[in-house]
Structure 1
């Protein structure tokens, strides 16, 4: 049985690339649009109605992420065709990438599930994960789940990121103690 490796808070975020709908490559964890941090939301894929709902909810918090100077991107293991079909139900302005490989999912320490049927999807997929990468390229916030029902509440997340980033709070990366 292979051992699951989880990323440690404070360590450099791995260099991982995925593909945007226009075919261009994007480096995950690398903020764009003049932001200094990036929130990388990993979602299960087109087959998951809870993912569709959550992606649409993220859109409603983009101003709060922008207030914290945090860029947002979402990614899944879906194919280009699956993402194109999913965008019929997802109405967002932030980038969504596709093609996250199983090896990349493992590198991120995500839980990976087998499809229950061919109707669900045609590939193994990552369960939800959130990785917030700071201005130094280090993992500042980590949240992974083994099912679609547990995800960060976006209001608490954005308020927390604003608080963490406020210079008067001098809030360190938490959860760095090795055991």
Structure 2
């Protein structure tokens, strides 16, 4: 299966396995983001992305500027290693690495998780690209991607044994939308996919089309 098919299959399986009342709470959370037009407030194609420096899974600082000096950069924001849709996407991006490298394009993934938890994500998914920790969502907030989980959705996550504060090292329950950006060497956004729905991800074919 390709990424889009795998995400669809995961969503269908979850709809059968998760109790209806919990699915309704999760759906309301997504609808609230859509009703607030959260994606429209995020950076778009043509915008200049701000430079940033974040620690990777080993705690080493990686700057966007240093990556852009080598060519284009694909940036994938994900919610955390606890999110099955995020793991599916990260593995699909790993499979695209040879294509990215062919076009002098770097790949980074960013989440609000601590470096230790990012390392777990790297090891679990056998990732060889940089996975960065955006503690307190400082970079994601600059891009307009961040929202706060409502109380009822927090309880649903707790029932799934998902401890967002433990993963993120804070108590704010803030997460980024799962956005994907293609940024050229000048820092200009050439492609942006910013869904409010956490089950959606950028089509790899669209990413590749925009780096060629």
TM range (shorter): 0.7 to 0.9
Q: State how far apart, in whole Å, the 2-side matches of 1:75 and 1:49 are.
A: 16
Residue in 1 that maps onto 2:137: 102
2:55 aligned to which of 8, 19, 39: 19
Q: CA deviation at 1:99?
A: 2.8
Q: Which runs of 5+ in 2 are unaligned?
A: 1-35, 166-172
2:94 aligned to which of 36, 53, 59: 59
Q: Assess if the C-alpha contact under 8 Å between 2:148 and 2:174 holds in 1.
A: yes
Q: CA deviation at 1:160?
A: 3.8
Instruction: Select the structure that is richer in helix.
Output: 2
Q: Over alpha carbons, which structure has the higher Rg?
A: 2
1:38 aligned to which of 56, 68, 73: 73
Closer/same/farther in 2, CA of residues 60 and 29 from structure 1, 3 Å limit: farther
TM-score of the two chains, using structure 1 as the length reference: 0.78
SS at match of 1:87: helix
Q: State how far apart, in whole Å, the 1-side matches of 2:90 and 2:67 are.
A: 18
Q: Assess if the C-alpha contact under 8 Å between 1:29 and 1:39 holds in 2.
A: no
Query: Number of residue pairs matched?
Result: 160
In the alignment, structure 1 residue 68 sits paired with structure 2 residue 103 = yes
Which residues of 2 match residues 95-134 of structure 1 at below 5 A? Answer: 95-114=130-149, 116=154, 117-118=157-158, 119-120=161-162, 121-122=164-165, 123-134=173-184
Residue in 2 that maps onto 1:154: 204
Q: State how far apart, in whole Å, the 2-side matches of 1:141 and 1:150 are.
A: 16
2:112 aligned to which of 58, 70, 77: 77
Closer/same/farther in 2, CA of residues 15 and 3 from structure 1, 3 Å limit: farther
Q: Assess if the C-alpha contact under 8 Å between 2:57 and 2:132 holds in 1.
A: yes
Q: CA deviation at 1:97?
A: 0.7
Q: State how far apart, in whole Å, the 2-side matches of 1:29 and 1:8 are.
A: 19
Q: CA deviation at 1:13?
A: 0.8
TM-score of the two chains, using structure 2 as the length reference: 0.67
Q: CA deviation at 1:14?
A: 0.8
